[in-house]
Amino acid sequence: METAFARTEQLLGICFAVGGGRNWRALLFLGSKWARSAMFPLFFLAFMIPLPEAAVDFLENASKEASAEVANWLFFLTGTSFLRTGTLFQLPGITITVAKECSGIRSSLVLVITSLLAANMFLRTTWRRALLVGAVIPLGLLRNGLRILVISLLCVHIGPEMINSVIHRRGGPVFFALSLVPLFAMLWLFRRQELKRQDETARTISTVNRS
C-alpha cells in the first residue's frame, strides 16, 4: 500500500513537472493563446496516474451502494417482488448481492474520459461542458442498476443459472454502449443549441452592419 502510494505520488509529481515546464515555455515563446490550447491535452496526463488503493476502494464502495439504491427503485418501478437488506436482494427463487465487482468503476472512468473529450471537441460554453461531464455520474449508476435489474429478472423468470450467463460475465460492454446513447443525445442537443445560437448571432451582426 505504502509503495503504491509513493509511486502514485511520484508519477503525479512528474506529470505536473513536465506539464508545468511545457506551459511556462509555451507561455514565453508561443504566447498565452497557445498555452491555453495545450492545457487540455496536458490535463489528460492525469489519467495516466493510478489512483491510490484507498481511493479506489472508497469509490467502489460508494458506487456499489448507490447502484443498489438505483436497482431498488427499478425493482419497485417494474413491480418485482423483493426484500432488501443493504446490498442484498431476496427475489423469488434467488438471492442476489451487489458486490464491488458491480460498481463499474472502470467503465465509469471510460465514460468520464469520453464525455471530457466530446465536451472539449464539440462544445464551446462552459456550463454545457460541465453538464455533459456531470451527467456521467447518474448515467453510470443507472447503467449499473439496469444491469442488476436485467440479470435479476432473468434469474427469476428463466432460472437461477442465469447468474452465470454470458450477460452477467461478459455483458459489461453492452450496458456501457447503452449508457453512451443518452450521453451522445445530450451532446447532440447541446451542439445543436450552440450552432443555433451562433447562427442567430451571425444574423444579428450582419443586420447591424447593413444598417
Res 17: pLDDT: 46
Neighbour order of strands in the sheet with 94-97: 83-85, 88-91, 94-97
| Cα atoms in the 13 Å half-sphere on the side-chain side of 1 | 5
86 within 8 A of 127, measured Cβ to Cβ: no
Residue with the bigger pLDDT between 82 and 166: it is 82
Res 127: pLDDT: 93
The cell numbers describing 1, all together, are 500500500
CA distances from 49 to 7, 12, 14, 52 (A): 9, 6, 10, 9
Mean of the per-residue pLDDT values of the chain: 80
User: What value does the mean pLDDT take over residues 89-110?
Assistant: 85
Q: How many CB atoms lie within 10 A of CB 105?
A: 18
Q: Examine the pLDDT at 2 and tell me if it is beyond 60.
A: no
Residue type, 66: A
Residue 92, H or E segment = none
Three-point CA angle 39, 43, 46, nearest 5°: 165
